[in-house]
Chains A and B, each alone.
Chain A
Amino acid sequence: MGKHFKYFFFSFILMNVQTYISQLISLRDISPDLLLIWLVYIAIKEGQMTGTIWGFVIGLMFDLSSGSFTGLSAMSKTIAGFTAGYFFDENRAPLTLGSYRYVLIVLFVSLIHNTVYFIILTRGSDIGLLKATFQIGLATNFYTSAVALLPMFVFGRKYIS
């Protein structure tokens, strides 16, 4: 129970940080998806089921706070949590989190997440799916993966050394 409260608390803090820092560190309106980095961490540490459920919870929290498209992030982050859960290995979790594998998983999951997200978002609008996926989606994927290096170093020091 305490563990899930911790996940909720950090998710809430990160959601606000995401909104606030996007003004400070965004590059041409591209900002890293901190919630996705956090979700991949949960899924690698706890497994597919927990990753899927927390993906939904984190996505829904983000949807409700942004005031529109309720269900969009909930769905894309559910799928992201489920995908990240495939890389769960109880015995190797600390190793995965502290190595470049974590960054690669974030990159892969981010790719899946953004593709699902833009398929739904661009439906019935003038925004081109390919343009959104390649221009904004890919840039966000790489930015998110680059930022995932920071927790990777922290986990590396904490778990491996």
Chain B
Amino acid sequence: MLSTQSSKLYMQRLVDILLTFKEYVVLTFLIVVSIILLNSNDNSQIRAIRSYTVGFVGATQDFISVVPNVFALKRENEILRQLSVNLSDEVNRLREARLENMRLREIIGLKERTTFKLVAGDIVGKNTHLLRNTITVNIGEADGVKPDMAIISEHGLVGKIIAASDHYSVGQIMFNKDFRASAKIQRNRVDGIVSWSGGEIVNLENISLMQDIKEGDVITTSEYSTIFPPDVKIGHVTKVSEQPGSLFKNIEVTPGVEFSSLEQVFVVIASVDSERVALEKKVARKK
């Protein structure tokens, strides 16, 4: 009887304390929920909720984006006209080069390279606030877009899809702390990894001091990535330096894509080569 009374008393005191400090209790509870969310970003339920939100917010942003930006449209028109002239000239030269390439590959018995299906989309929202650096595109799963598909533009690599709903998707651009891409230097085929550490440049990492790298070298995606198609331009080297004590060079790369004026993109519709992924996983497990 006494113990029941004392436990009730304790409970009452606990409730009183919680009520006195209710603001702190709520704050602690919400911070704990936030930490749980931060640690379960890849959880399927979180992904599903994110997908619904992307669809809902994407539709709203699409609606808002009909407000025309006259200055941007005029500038874009001029750029497109110039680009069209340059591209028609380049197409002619590439057509010749392709025929030659096909003949040469046939002679040495190499397979024809796969061409990827591209789906074009308009950017309806850009979230560059506080280094989030994502874009919302008005194409989604109904168009064949899925997470981990590459996003490119006529100037090169843009990023990859990280969430998709039926008609909208969110892409992570190169200027994102989680962005990584296998890359190579076009001139001498040296491999490295492209990542971002702030600012308007990306870094090419894991390039040994022995390698010959020059400013102006073009960086493209390599064949090693399961997400990005090979030979898509990433940018060009703008600075090469060496840090005392480091085995690798510091290489700064300026992306080919101008993210601030980017308005249209293409998503590379390519399914992951499951046989290759399975084999690579198997080998990694054995190690």
Contact = CB atoms under 8 A, between A and B. Distances in A.
Interface residues of A, number: 55
Contact of B23 (A22, A48, A63, A131): A48
Contacts of A55: 30
B126 A22 contact: yes
A101 B241 CA distance: 48
B36 interface: yes
A31 B203 CA distance: 25
B34 A56 contact: yes
B209 interface: no
Interface stretch (B57-65, B227-235, B271-279): B57-65
Given A20-B65, A82-B23, A140-B130, A52 B30 contact: yes
B26 A53 contact: yes
B33 A74 contact: yes
B57 A16 contact: yes
Contacts, number: 151
Contacts of B38: 69-72, 75, 120
A85 B22 CA distance: 13
Contacts of A17: 64
User: Which secondary structure dominates where chain A touches chain B?
Assistant: helix
A68 interface: yes
A68 B26 contact: no
B64 A16 contact: yes
Interface string A50-62: 0011011001110
A122 B37 CA distance: 17
A138 to B, nearest CB: 12
Given A24-B69, A82-B23, A131-B198, A68 B178 contact: yes
A55 B23 CA distance: 13
Contacts of A125: 177-178, 197
Contacts of A31: 128-129
Interface string B121-162: 000011111111010100000000000000000000000001
Interface of B: 22-23, 26-27, 30-31, 33-41, 46, 49-50, 53-54, 57, 60-61, 64-65, 69, 125-132, 134, 136, 162-163, 170, 172, 176-178, 195-198, 203, 260
The 4 closest A-B pairs by CB, nearest first: A71-B37, A67-B170, A126-B197, A75-B34
8 contacts: A22-B129, A23-B69, A26-B128, A52-B26, A74-B33, A78-B27, A118-B131, A122-B177
